[in-house]
Structure 1
Amino acid sequence: MARRGVRAKGRYRPLMWAHQPEFNTYSEEGEPWFGFEAVRDLEGLPPEILLVPLFGHTFGHCGVAVRGAEGWLLHAGDSYFDPREVKGPVWQCAPVVRLFQMVVTMDTRARFYNQARLRSFTAAHPEVRVFCAHNPWELEDCQAARAERLPAAA
């Protein structure tokens, strides 16, 4: 909310807080989770919901891990837009998406660091479903997987 710097002033606008949200802030401390350090539970929520620091896209950007009956899901938020950035042996990204991310990223070094961690993570832990906020195909895959597990309607 302090909007320090030109990029932050353009990106974080007072209108975003006009509804006067109540924020809970967290330190960068926590427990390890599948190789990610400083993962923590969230105040007032069950321990099956965890905050996973994935800084870079925005200041303090985090993903959210949720353990359900079928295992873990990791909503990586905006830490990537093109799944090839984190799923596969080498980083790849569509040129238009790459340009957009260059414009909106607050900390490029941290974003690439966390994408590398996510790439290692997805390779080592295929049992954890990882998806991002801006990819409709990943959402469809999650929805299809869920539909396969649900019993047929009577």
Structure 2
Amino acid sequence: MSAFYDLSPKDAKGESYPFSDLKGKVVLIVNVASKCGFTPQYKDLEELNKKYKDQGLVILGFPCNQFLGQEPGTSDDIASFCQLNYGVSFPVLAKIDVNGDNADPVFKYLKSQKSGLLGLTRVKWNFEKFLIDKDGKVVQRYGSTTKPLSIGPAIEKLLK
């Protein structure tokens, strides 16, 4: 398993997005979907982004269609939806799988570092969140029901 900064997923345009560019930043990675009951969390994620990006927070959304087909669109569709409905200004990368044989290396790595509820390694649903410190260490994993704004104090602590 590679280190966090060795990962380089694809962005929404299919270009490489090297995590080595994130050194010294606090990162919040979220698997997202446009047609999910948790989709309104985009609003709170954008609020966190606006509040902390100038202090060194980077939020990354990874669209995933593995949970009841709740992210069926193309990368362009997803980007338009996020911008129009929630004013999202943080990067929403290429659509990926988070579980199974075709799981993206980013999520393979994240799951290997922090198991979920009851020790499960698989991502249970859309809008699971992984908080990474300035050294690339996965420090916390949050379930779908965790409201993004409740993560604010943990982000502040890591930014100091």
Normalized against structure 1, the TM-score is what?
0.32
Q: Which structure would you say has the larger Rg?
A: 1
Bigger relative contact order, structure 1 or 2 (CA pairs below 8 A, ≥6 apart): 2
